[in-house]
Amino acid sequence: MSEEKKRFIQEFVPGKQLTLSHLIANPDPDMFQKLGIQQAGALGILTLTPSETVIIAGDLATKAANVTIGFLDRFTGSLVIVGSVSEVEMAMEAINRFLSEQLGYTPAPITKS
């Protein structure tokens, strides 16, 4: 008797959305060390789909406000920006606005802690 092999098919169905948009106003200094980020300040954390969108978001952030990119991963869609609270918030608002109005993405509200 032959054993039937099972076949799994995995599909990626891209959505266009900003999944997470969170601002940490005063992160613990230890967090910067753990993340490997040299600069201290507020952190803006974003997750985007499709993942390559982080390249656009990183460019928008640095042009819209005085922030630096702490981390960018085009494979997972993760972006961390660093700067003052007001600058990080300004950058995140610019990202949300552009992706929503120009590219038709579903925006995420900016949450804060």
Whether residue 2 lies inside any domain: the answer is: no
C-alpha distances out from residue 8 to 3, 4, 11, 12, Å: 16, 13, 10, 13
Within 8 A by CB and 6+ apart from 7, the residues are: none
Range(s) of the domain holding residue 46: 17-112
Buried b (16+ CB within 10 A) or exposed e, 89-109: bbbbebbbebbbeeeebebbe
Tokens of 50: 């499709």
Q: Is residue 70 part of a domain?
A: yes
For residue 102, is it within any domain? Answer: yes
pTM of the model: 0.82
29 domain residue, yes or no = yes
C-alpha dihedral (73, 102, 14, 111), degrees to nearest 10: 60
Q: Judge whether 12 lies within some domain.
A: no
Render pLDDT for 84-93 as a digit per residue (tens, 0 to 9): 999 999 999 9
Alpha helices (H) in 1-113, listed in sequence order: 29-35, 53-64, 85-103
* CATH number of the domain residue 84 falls in: 3.30.70.1710
Number of folded domains that form the chain: 1
Q: What is the tens place of the pLDDT at every residue in 20-56? A: 999 999 998 888 888 888 888 899 999 998 889 999 9
Asked, for residue 7, whether it belongs to a domain, the answer is no
Q: Indicate whether 5 belongs to any domain.
A: no
Quote the pLDDT of residue 10: 45
What does the block give as tokens for 91?
């950058």
Return the DSSP state at 66: S
